[in-house]
Structures are given as structure tokens and as C-alpha cells.
């Protein structure tokens, strides 16, 4: 068995490059941008009024003028215009183009409008209430960098520069496979000796958050059907995530069949708990990467979160980051396994603290509900003190 640290490194050493693809903007949320995005015009593209009111030329104010004849109204969406006389004003709406020879906007609340004339009730300052052309970004500037994650904020910018389609990092075609004769579909009523499949749904949901829609498959504990399905999956998919059938049981056929199908074993078994019997390998011919997770629901979940997510990030070109949190309680380690302990986060004076979640082993999937993530404690010492910082792997959005 290899150490947790070595297993993690070996998984990252086998990251892949799936290239780029062109997609419509409507499908881009959560994806990784694969091109620098350049402003196609100035932002804003013209001197923009930021208040509803009147537009004037400030020189009139310098001459002591306080009443202005109204020449007309400029609405948002109207082409650029000018004052025919700089002693006059134009009514102007927020978002409209400032008239070429105007330089100041005064909001309605600071003028009295009567019989076609506007009288100031508060002196303006020169240039007020204008969002100057190019003051946010100049045409040609890079507004989004390659490898950024596209969230609603980036979607707005992409839309504003006219990216109806864009280049993103391509995602691997992925199969998720549950194994075990005891498992039935969620729509079924299990017999007393059966349980409903949950891991496949957890993985489907987790991959969905990464923009991957996997192909779900199920295998009975039968060598011939496992062989058949896995052979086909290795041809059709770039990644296979399996759960179950990797331990020492009489029906744990997965490692043997993966070996038969020329999937090279990189490691089997990690000095960690939960998730110890994790099997990881690569089919050299197809390049398919196989993550074969132990079937206990928390074991599958911890290994997906710890290994697969960082492997995917690295494969897509996203820099990896490490979060550390302070312990809210002492943690004592016995034995030689690295522990990935279910933890709940608390905010104390703006800093994150982790307490342990009460749990009942790696079969206790209900314990994942109060869990915010896993803390990682290595057995290089026996006691981790209160306040000590440890690595934290989130399992949900933290804020
Ligand atoms: N002699 C030994 N026995 C076991 C060892 C060991 O080292 N020596 N390791 C234990 C550990 S640790 C784990 S973890 C499990 C992993 O076993 P498998 O990967 O072979 O998983 P299964 O036996 O197929 O299932 C384990 C458990 O999880 C349930 N399960 C499986 N798949 C699903 C699913 N899709 N949805 C919900 N629940 C699932 C399954 O019913 C079992 O209860 O091995 C220990 N044994
Ligand atoms: O390694 Mo297992 O996941 O503890 O039950």
C-alpha cells in the first residue's frame, strides 16, 4: 500500500489534455475558458449619462448662467447628437449618449423644469454624472484570461463583447459504474437484503457540477458481464469512475478484470481511511483513466473529492489550491493511516474553524449531510491541537 501523499501525486501525474471545444454562451457557466477575451470596443463605448436630468456645457455655468432653454430630449438608444447652442440644455436619460458639445449632467432632483426652461437649484461640478468612454476598459484590452472559470460574472462580460460562442476546455467523456448484486434502482422497493444504489447518483450529481454528463452503468457481480461492459466502456470513454468491488471479497472482481483488459494498475490500496482499497490505473492503448473507488458511500465520495476533482482541475489547466482551517477540537491519531475526517466549518471572528462530524464509519452516507468537507490528518504525529491548521477539502460551496 502506498501513502496518501504518493497516491495523490501519482493521480496528478496522470492528468490528461482533452483539448478545447467551441460552445454557445448559454452552455458556458462552470466551464473553463480556453482563449483570452479582448474588448471589441471601448467600455463604455460612448460617454454615457448616469442620471436622468439635463445635459449642459459647463462653460455656461462658469459664465454664471443658472437657467437653460430645453432644446429637446435624448433617450438611451438614440444616436449621438449636439446642442445647437451651448447656452441651452437637452433633457437626457440614464444610458443615453452625452451630446457631443455637452460635458455635465444634472439630475432632475437638482433642477426645476417650467415652460421649456430648466433652472438649477444646486450648482453642479464639471463633468458630473458621466461614465466616460473607455474608462472601464479600452478596445483591445484583455478582459478575461484563458483558464478562468466562467461564472455569471464572466457570462455578462462575454455577452457584452459579443461572444455568442466561445472556446472552452473540453471535458472527458465519462462513464460511472456501480457494482454489486445487492443494489436496486431508486424507483424500486428493496427487499430486506437489498439496498438502493446511491453512489451512482452522488457521482452523477458531482460530475454535473463540473459540467460533465456521465453515462451511468451498473454491473452485477458476474465476471462475464463485468468484462463485457468494461471492455466497451474503455473504448467509448476517456474516464471511468467505478464504485465497489475493489476490496478482498470473493465477488470483488474489478481489479482482476481491469488487469485482463490491459488497464495498467498505478496503485491499489492507499494508507488512508476511509477509502483505503482505492484502485487507480490507465489503459495505455485508449488513454482511458480508471478511478475504481471502494463501494462504501463515504469512501467513494472522499476519493472522488480528493483525487478526481484535483485530477480534473489539473487536466483542464486550472491551478490547484490548498485550503487550511484551524481545528476547533483536538484530534488524536492512532495507527498509520492518513485520516480524512468529516468536518463542519464554523466562522469565528472571520476565520474558519473545523469541528468533527459525528459519524458511523464509511457506510454512513447520512453523515455527509452536516459535513462541509474533509480535514486531512497524517499519522506523522499523534495529537493535533486545538487551533492547529490542517488541510481542508471542501465537499460543498463554503459561502
Ligand atoms: N477482508 C477485507 N475486507 C474489507 C477490506 C479489507 O481491507 N479487507 N476493506 C474494507 C474497506 S475499508 C472498504 S471501503 C470496503 C470496500 O469494498 P468494495 O470496494 O469491494 O465495495 P463493496 O464490497 O462492493 O461494497 C461495500 C459497501 O458499499 C455498499 N455499496 C457499494 N456500492 C454502492 C452503491 N453504488 N450505492 C450504495 N452503496 C453501495 C455495498 O452494499 C457495501 O455495503 O471493503 C471492506 N472490506
Ligand atoms: O477504506 Mo474503507 O473506506 O474505511 O470503509
Give the tens place of pLDDT for each residue, 45-65.
999 999 999 999 999 999 999
Q: What is the pLDDT of residue 245?
A: 93
Ligand 2 centroid to residue 342 C-alpha, Å: 13
Measured in whole angstroms, the distance separating CA 397 from the mean position of its chain's CA atoms is 9
How far is Cα 120 from Cα 208, in angstroms, rounded to an integer? 58
Query: Interface pTM (ipTM) of the complex?
Result: 0.96
Q: What is the pLDDT of residue 350?
A: 86
- Note the Cα 111 to chain centre separation in Å: 48
Query: Are the C-beta atoms of residues 28 and 150 closer than 8 Å to each other?
Result: yes
Can you identify the CATH homologous superfamily of domain 21-43+135-169? Molybdopterin biosynthesis moea protein, domain 2 (3.90.105.10)
Nearest CA owner, ligand 1 atom 5: 247
CA dist list (Å): 170 to 16, 18, 28, 164: 11, 6, 11, 18
Name the DSSP class of 137.
Answer: B
CA 193 – CA 172 distance, rounded (Å): 36
Ligand nearest to the CA of 270: 2
Q: Which three cell numbers stand for residue 209?
A: 457540477
What spatial distance separates the first Cα and last Cα of the chain, rounded to whole Å?
Answer: 37
Residue to mutate (ligand 1; options 295, 304, 338, 340; most atoms within 8 A of CB): 295
CA of 276 to the centre of ligand 2 (A): 5
CA-wise closest residue to 208 among 8, 391, 29, 20: 29
Shortest-distance ligand to the CA of residue 195: 1
pLDDT of 398 reads 79
Taking the C-alpha atoms of residue 77 and residue 93, their distance in angstroms, rounded to an integer, is: 10
Contact 294, 247 (CB under 8 A): yes
CA distance 291 to 263: 11
C-alpha distance from residue 362 to each of 62, 273, 275, 368 (Å): 78, 8, 8, 10
232-260 per-position pLDDT tens digit: 999 999 999 999 999 999 999 999 999 99
pLDDT (tens digit per residue) in 116-150: 999 999 999 999 999 999 999 999 999 999 999 99
**From the CB of 274, is ligand 2 less than 6 Å away?**
yes
- Which of 178, 180, 192, 340 best tests ligand 1's pocket when mutated (most atoms within 8 Å of CB)? 180
> Measured from the CB, is residue 294 less than 6 Å from ligand 1?
yes
Pick the CATH number of 323-394 from 2.40.340.10, 3.30.465.10, 3.40.430.10, 3.40.50.720: 2.40.340.10
Q: Cell for 78?
A: 438614440
With contact defined as beta carbons under 8 Å apart, do 137 and 19 qualify? no
**Residue position matching grid coordinates 465519462:** 174
Separation CA 296–CA 304 (nearest Å): 12
Q: pLDDT band for position 34 (50/70/90)?
A: very high
Query: What value does the mean pLDDT take over residues 69-83?
Result: 98
Q: Could you confirm whether domain 2-18+171-316 is CATH 3.40.980.10?
A: yes
Q: What is the pLDDT of residue 397?
A: 86
- As a whole number, the mean pLDDT across the chain is 97
User: What number is the average pLDDT over the span 11-28?
Assistant: 98
Q: Which fold has domain 48-131?
A: Molybdopterin biosynthesis moeA protein; domain 3 (2.170.190)
pLDDT (tens digit, 9 = 90+) per residue, 318-348? Answer: 999 999 999 999 999 999 999 999 999 999 8
pLDDT computed for residue 399 by the predictor: 67
pLDDT digits (tens, 9 = 90+) for 181-197: 999 999 999 999 999 99
Quick check: CB of 207 below 6 Å from ligand 1?
no
Q: Where are the domains of the chain?
A: 2-18+171-316, 21-43+135-169, 48-131, 323-394
Q: Region 205-215: what's the mean pLDDT?
A: 96
Q: Is the CB of 345 under 6 A from ligand 1?
A: no
Say which residues have a Cβ less than 8 Å from residue 285's Cβ, sequence separation at least 6: 262
> Please, which pLDDT band fits residue 171 given cuts at 50, 70 and 90?
very high
In the chain, what percentage of residues exceed pLDDT 70? 100
Amino acid at each position: 500500500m502506498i501513502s496518501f501523499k504518493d497516491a495523490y501525486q501519482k493521480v496528478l501525474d496522470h492528468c490528461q489534455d482533452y483539448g478545447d471545444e467551441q460552445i454557445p454562451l448559454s452552455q458556458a457557466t462552470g466551464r473553463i475558458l480556453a482563449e483570452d477575451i479582448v474588448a471589441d470596443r471601448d467600455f463604455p463605448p460612448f460617454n454615457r449619462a448616469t442620471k436622468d436630468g439635463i445635459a449642459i456645457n459647463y462653460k455656461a455655468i462658469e459664465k454664471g448662467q443658472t437657467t437653460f432653454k430645453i432644446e429637446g430630449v435624448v433617450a438611451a438608444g438614440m444616436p449621438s447628437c449636439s446642442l445647437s447652442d451651448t447656452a441651452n440644455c437637452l433633457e437626457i436619460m440614464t444610458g443615453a449618449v452625452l451630446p457631443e458639445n455637452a460635458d455635465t449632467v444634472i439630475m432632475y432632483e437638482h433642477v426645476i423644469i417650467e415652460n421649456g426652461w430648466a433652472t438649477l437649484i444646486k450648482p453642479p461640478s464639471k463633468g458630473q454624472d458621466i461614465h466616460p468612454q473607455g474608462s472601464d476598459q479600452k478596445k483591445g484590452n484583455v478582459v478575461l484570461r484563458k483558464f478562468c472559470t466562467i461564472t455569471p460574472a464572466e457570462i455578462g462580460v462575454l455577452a457584452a463583447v459579443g461572444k455568442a460562442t466561445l472556446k472552452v476546455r473540453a471535458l472527458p467523456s465519462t462513464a460511472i459504474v456501480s457494482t454489486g448484486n445487492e443494489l436496486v434502482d431508486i424507483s424500486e422497493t428493496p427487499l430486506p437484503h437489498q439496498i438502493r444504489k446511491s453512489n451512482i447518483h452522488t457521482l452523477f450529481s458531482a460530475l454535473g457540477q463540473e459540467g460533465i454528463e456521465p453515462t451511468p452503468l451498473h454491473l452485477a457481480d458476474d465476471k462475464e458481464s463485468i468484462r463485457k461492459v468494461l471492455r466497451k466502456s474503455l473504448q467509448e470513454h476517456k474516464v471511468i469512475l467505478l464504485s465497489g468491488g475493489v476490496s478482498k471479497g470473493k465477488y470483488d472482481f474489478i481489479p482482476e478484470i481491469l488487469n485482463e483488459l490491459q488497464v495498467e494498475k498505478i496503485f491499489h490500496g492507499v494508507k488512508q481511511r476511509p477509502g483505503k482499497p482505492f484502485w487507480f490505473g490507465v489503459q495505455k492503448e485508449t488513454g482511458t483513466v480508471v478511478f475504481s473507488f471502494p463501494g462504501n458511500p463515504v469512501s467513494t465520495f472522499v476519493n472522488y473529492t480528493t483525487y478526481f476533482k484535483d485530477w480534473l482541475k489539473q487536466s483542464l489547466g486550472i491551478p490547484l489550491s490548498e485550503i487550511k482551517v484551524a481545528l476547533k477540537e483536538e484530534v488524536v491519531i492512532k495507527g498509520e493511516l492518513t485520516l480524512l475526517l468529516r468536518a463542519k466549518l464554523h466562522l469565528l471572528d472571520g476565520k474558519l474553524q473545523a469541528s468533527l462530524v459525528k459519524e458511523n464509519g464509511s457506510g454512513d452516507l447520512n453523515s455527509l449531510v452536516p459535513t462541509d468537507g474533509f480535514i486531512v490528518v497524517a499519522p506523522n504525529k499523534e495529537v493535533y491541537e486545538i487551533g492547529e491548521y490542517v488541510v481542508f477539502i471542501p465537499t460543498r460551496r463554503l459561502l
